[in-house]
Amino acid sequence: MRSLCRALLHGPADAETLRGASAFFESALAKAVGASTRPSFGNPWSPRVRPNPTEEAGRRTVLLALAPTLLLDGIGLARAAQPATAHRLAECQLFELYCRSVGLDEPATSAPLKFRAKLTLAGATLPPLDDPTFFHAPNIPDFAWTLPAVQLCLFHRPRSYFPELLGWTLAHGLREPDWWDDDDAAETGRCRALARAALEACTDRDEGRVHAGWSLYCLSFTELLQETAGQLARRLQAREAMASIVQAKRAHALGHHGRVLLAGRSLDDWLAQAGPEPLLDALRDSPYLDRTCAAESRLIRAMDFGGPMFGVFDAAERRVCLDWIEDESRSVDMAATGSAFIPRPNRVNQRPKSGPRSKRAFYTALLGAESTSDIPGQATEVVERTLRLTRLFMQLQRGYRRFFPYDEAAFHARIEAIYRHDIERYRPLTVPPRIGKDFCRWVILQLAPTILVDGCWLAGIATAAENLDTIDRHLLKIYADELGNGRPERNHPNVYRRLLDDLGIRLPPFASEAFAQDPRFLDAAFDIPVYLLAIGQHPRRYFPELLGLNLAIELSGLGAGYMRLIDLLRDHGIDPAIIQLHLSIDNLASGHAARARDAVMIYMDEMERKGGAEVSRQVWKRIWTGYLSLETTALKWALQIRWRSRS
């Protein structure tokens, strides 16, 4: 379960891993459905067992057992609003719940981050979620990983298990808060209302599967607390704790203790044995321990400053050693220690997956990709081909598109210059436009495949609250705005749908094959959206390029181009709401363009500090390549050719 959770959170989760996760989920679901008792559906509930120890060590034990679950709070909703589904009300509301969970607008309100603070205040030591040692920390019991595995399966399969996700979310929201939870009653009320609203918005839901999701959460959380209560009753003994520490460190201790003798054998010989038990037995009867005054033992003094093992054992591990010396049957608090043996993750060599070849087929396939293993194998080829072509023409760029060495002031000045230049090009429409209404209508049709997936290049950013840095939060905020922040009427693709309806343009559902194969579209109409969907599926692999691409997209929503287009549409009696929306929300003062610019600056500063000048130069070239790549696709040129041919 530990390794499964790590693979599902940090990935890439291959097809075999996801099949195993789905099999586990189905098994857990069947068990929950068959449970004899469960809380009444749709009502606030509390688990039957609610451990509430009064002593500090016991409370640490409870917090550590709950840590994987509560630090991943909301992760099952992170991908609820995917490019293919984000225009629907229920998905919008679930994504809004995710944004509230991670504290998108104000990190201090995030439930997982508040729980991390509780851990710290309780003296429970745990690595961060992005540290591989987190998943193998011995102070987190094995049973604590079952519920997080379910959460992470929902993270990868939000469409396949959407009814169950609705029931799970409602059960989570209606669980009565306890001492380990956030105590914000107002926020709890808002989240409960959103969970209920999402359920009501899904009018074609399978009630049986929704109830199964409810039961799954209730049973999983109840069992987690039951196991935790059992652990409190059988507190780990000092000898077991000491054995765990020795086992974790033995691989790196071998070779350093050839001269240290214990019962006539070198300590290296003792460490080379299969388990730590013989070594512990030998140590108990050795002169290295002083049972009358454990702190004066040679073993303990060796851990102090100046000793040969200084820095090998932390303070919590030193306390366990003292407990073991004084009385090996004494119960100890493993919540204080966090060392671990970390196995190397299995690396599975994956062959490139076969998939569609045409741009139209790629569009449908990419929209259908629910998780990493569903991505067509040639998706990276699409991205690489676009970036390769962009690099080829980079030296030919002129004016503000020309590459330049990065420094913060120069970059900031370039962005301001691009913005100012485009604003100053604007001239109000004073004569009847040469472009007729029919051509405008045709262009609006050709842009539909792109704008109906607006924001898709950022769809893969969402993750656990603790793993979202400042850059991720800028990007995630842009994505949330594109989706309407839980309000479908503000969802950018839905605004465009209203425009299409107003113009009488009827299209098949955009995620269907019929849409992609519609003969009214140019092939070039799928160049941009296929590139955006493909790079959005690989946000970490192409992160510098993604930052540059995002900057280009957000800046393109400002200036003369959009202002003239608004005038043109109004002159023809066409609602310019979608253009006006981007012109305002993409603003460079505090809108998307400002966030995109700041994300680049923060990232470049980070690369300079971590990698030095050479690394930052390479990264900057990748960012600018991403910036230029938006213009590499063929739609712009196809539209111009069509216009000139009609003139």
pLDDT of residue 240: 81
Instruction: Read off the pLDDT of each residue in 622-643 and give the average, rounded to a whole number.
Output: 79
Of 477, 419, 231, whose CA–CA distance to 333 is shortest?
231
Residue 602, Cβ neighbours under 10 Å: how many? 15
HSE-CB at 314 with a 13 A cutoff on CA atoms is 8
The 8-class DSSP code of residue 327 comes to -
Q: What is the pLDDT of residues 335-377, one digit of tens each?
A: 555 544 444 344 333 444 455 678 999 999 999 999 988 988 8
Instruction: Name the pLDDT band for 184 (thresholds 50, 70, 90).
Output: confident
Of 281-295, 464-478, 490-504, which range is least confident?
281-295
Instruction: Name the pLDDT band for 471 (thresholds 50, 70, 90).
Output: very high
CB 169 within 8 A of CB 215: no
Distances (CA, A) of 316 to 234, 355, 406: 20, 53, 46
Number of H helices, E strands in the chain: 27, 2
Print the SS3 string covering 150-170: HHHHHHHCCCCCHHHHHHHHH
Residue 170, Cβ neighbours under 10 Å: how many? 22
Q: Per this entry, what is the length of the chain? A: 647
pLDDT over 90, % of the chain: 70
| Interatomic CA distance for residues 231 and 220, integer angstroms | 17
Most confident segment among 127-136, 423-432, 638-647: 127-136
Instruction: Read off the pLDDT of each residue in 392-411 and give the average, rounded to a whole number.
Output: 93
| Interatomic CA distance for residues 595 and 587, integer angstroms | 9
State yes or no: pLDDT of 330 exceeds 80: no
Instruction: Read off the pLDDT of each residue in 437-443 and give the average, rounded to a whole number.
Output: 93
pLDDT of residue 176: 95
| Interatomic CA distance for residues 258 and 260, integer angstroms | 6
Instruction: Name the pLDDT band for 331 (thresholds 50, 70, 90).
Output: low
In this predicted model, which residue has the larger pLDDT, 356 or 461?
Answer: 461
| Interatomic CA distance for residues 382 and 356, integer angstroms | 11
Of the options 3.40.1440, 2.60.40, 2.130.10, 1.20.910, the CATH number for the domain spanning 383-394+433-646:
1.20.910
pLDDT of residue 614: 94
CB 478 within 8 A of CB 550: yes
State yes or no: pLDDT of 381 exceeds 60: yes
Q: What is the pLDDT of residues 224-263, one digit of tens each?
A: 999 999 988 876 667 888 888 888 888 888 888 888 899 9
Mean pLDDT of the chain: 90
Residue 610 burial by CB count (10 A; 0-12/13-18/19+): exposed, middle or buried?
exposed
Task: Report long-range pairs for 397-402 (Cβ below 8 Å, ≥24 apart).
Answer: 397/628, 401/628, 401/631
State yes or no: pLDDT of 641 exceeds 70: no
CB 558 within 8 A of CB 423: yes
| Phi–psi pair at 175, nearest 5 degrees | -65, 130
Q: What is the pLDDT of residues 1-30, one digit of tens each?
A: 999 999 999 987 889 999 999 999 999 999
| Interatomic CA distance for residues 479 and 1, integer angstroms | 31
Alpha helices in 572-634 (DSSP H): 577-585, 592-629
pLDDT of residue 328: 61
Instruction: Read off the pLDDT of each residue in 139-146 and give the average, rounded to a whole number.
Output: 94
User: H/E element holding 174?
Assistant: helix 162-174
Got the DSSP string for 279-293? HHHHHHTSTT--SSS
CB 376 within 8 A of CB 382: no
Q: What is the pLDDT of residues 261-303, one digit of tens each?
A: 999 899 999 999 888 889 988 998 899 999 889 899 999 999 9
Integer Rg of the chain from CA: 29
Distances (CA, A) of 137 to 112, 305, 310, 342, 346: 18, 26, 22, 9, 18
Output the six-digit token pair for 561: 């181009």
Single-letter amino acid, residue 407: D
Can you give the pTM of this predicted structure? Answer: 0.86
The residues that bridge with 261 in the sheet, in sequence order, are: 266
